[in-house]
Amino acid sequence: MAREMIRHGGRSARIQNEVHAATRALLEVTDRSELTVPMIAERAGVPPSTIYRRWGDLSQLLADVAVERLRPIADPDDTGATMGDLEAFVVQYAEEMSSAVGRRLLRDVLADAENETSATKCCRFTYDHLEVIAGRAVARGEPGIDIGLVIDRVIAPIVYHILFRDRDVEPDYCRQLLATVEVGGLRTAA
Amino acid sequence: MAREMIRHGGRSARIQNEVHAATRALLEVTDRSELTVPMIAERAGVPPSTIYRRWGDLSQLLADVAVERLRPIADPDDTGATMGDLEAFVVQYAEEMSSAVGRRLLRDVLADAENETSATKCCRFTYDHLEVIAGRAVARGEPGIDIGLVIDRVIAPIVYHILFRDRDVEPDYCRQLLATVEVGGLRTAA
DNA sequence: ACGCTAACGCAAATAATTTGCACTTAGGCA
DNA sequence: TGCCTAAGTGCAAATTATTTGCGTTAGCGT
């Protein structure tokens, strides 16, 4: 039987939690550039070799931790109206991602050269959130939103400016971006 | 005299060139994840300590090399018309950046946690290119282009999709993005 | 040409990463 | 339920990468 056999429970899971927790805790007080695997291992109470075997190297571990932190814990706020939902989501997204912590998470996710699935997962989170908002719109009988258009017009510029630090992404700017998908009643993508 | 005293010529410059060349050469045949500083040092004919002292670590060296490779060697093509210039530039930009090499360069630039100037420099290149095109437009008496708008509407989505790998950025898609800044004769940003 | 010192090369010391082997244990199966 | 098997772990030795002190080389300003 060629079954996959990947362990999820018990010790394995406990170790994953402890390593993740140790990483998060150390990132609070340590610069990313002086964070090391042995440091995390000691704090988590495991030997370094366990971390190397399981995650490969520091950047992959950081990417894994970052993805977990970026994973949404709840659906976007329901404001009762599609544009309200969008605005609430986008403004909060920009605020979180442009913070020092958020920026680091974004970079950790992108830095991980192997396992490009980190980046894919992370952008999936955004897509899923927008899909929930789109679903609500339909349920309410409002015109649906074009998710691809929102990503291109709103999310992408925000992420670009955060990554390249060439301008702030304050709420007003986010609303300006959003306004461009609103014209003509959330029209379909070009 | 509190002059800075940074050396640019002679040996120092030669070493920088050799290390850069060695890095580029090794990246052709080696996966980024198995590239090491001692490897580059040997190929460049310098001791590893020289690299560590000068660049700090591998990711900073890779970022430095990436910035140099992204630095434009010439002004964007002059097609005789503003939209033609823009289209030529954007399509080529997307093609270069979405290749395996381009994607790696982009990530190397962003990965470097210290010295965030790498990212800034790199996005400056794009801005400068657009400024040249904008300057030509004015010189021809055509309406000027809003560089911020082009970045938000065209460059940012392209970069986003390349980094997160959630869709291809083929020429047609680039032209669609460009079309949204063309409506109303290159109108001023929102 | 001369002096000053940034940048270098070397090698020893330190730290990180890899690896073989024995052991533990999650999860499937009887 | 209680075996069985291999995924996952811990340990420690071997390897490899990184840091650092110190003497030397060579830009650059005078």
Query: pLDDT tens digit string along B119-129?
Result: 999 999 999 99
Asked whether A91 and A98 are in contact (CB, 8 A), the reply is no
| Beta carbons of B104 and A110 less than 8 Å apart | no
Q: What is the pLDDT of residue A5?
A: 64
| Beta carbons of A166 and B111 less than 8 Å apart | no
Average pLDDT over residues A166-172: 97
DSSP H helical ranges for chain B: 10-29, 37-44, 48-55, 58-70, 82-98, 100-111, 117-140, 147-150, 156-164, 171-186
Average pLDDT over residues A33-42: 97
Instruction: Please report, for chain B, the start and end positions of each structural domain, with discontinuous segments joined by +.
Output: 10-56, 73-186
Q: What angle do helix axes A156-164 and B156-164 make, rounded to 10 degrees?
A: 80
pLDDT in tens, A59-86: 999 999 999 999 999 999 999 999 999 9
| Beta carbons of A114 and B33 less than 8 Å apart | yes
Q: Does A44 touch chain B (CB under 8 A)?
A: no
Asked whether B108 and B63 are in contact (CB, 8 A), the reply is yes
Read off the pLDDT band of B4 (50, 70, 90).
Answer: low
List chain C nucleotides near protein: any atom < 7 Å from a Cβ: 5-12, 15-20, 25-29
Amino acid at B89: F
CA distance B156 to A178: 15
Average pLDDT over residues B171-183: 93
Q: Which residues of A touch B155 (CB under 8 A)?
A: 160
Q: What is the pLDDT of residue B1?
A: 41
Homologous superfamily assigned to A74-186:
Tetracycline Repressor, domain 2 (1.10.357.10)
Average pLDDT over residues B167-190: 80
Q: What is the pLDDT of residue B168?
A: 97
CB A38 under 7 Å to nucleic chain C:
yes
Q: Does B33 touch chain A (CB under 8 A)?
A: yes
Q: Is the pLDDT of residue A101 over 50?
A: yes
B176 by Cβ neighbours in 10 Å (0-12 / 13-18 / 19+) ranks as: middle
A10-56 CATH choice from 3.90.1660.10, 3.40.50.970, 1.10.3430.10, 1.10.10.60 = 1.10.10.60
B73-186 CATH choice from 3.40.50.300, 3.30.450.40, 1.10.357.10, 1.10.10.60 = 1.10.357.10
Q: What is the dihedral of CA B87, B92, B95, B97, to 10 degrees?
A: -110
Read off the pLDDT band of B49 (50, 70, 90).
Answer: very high
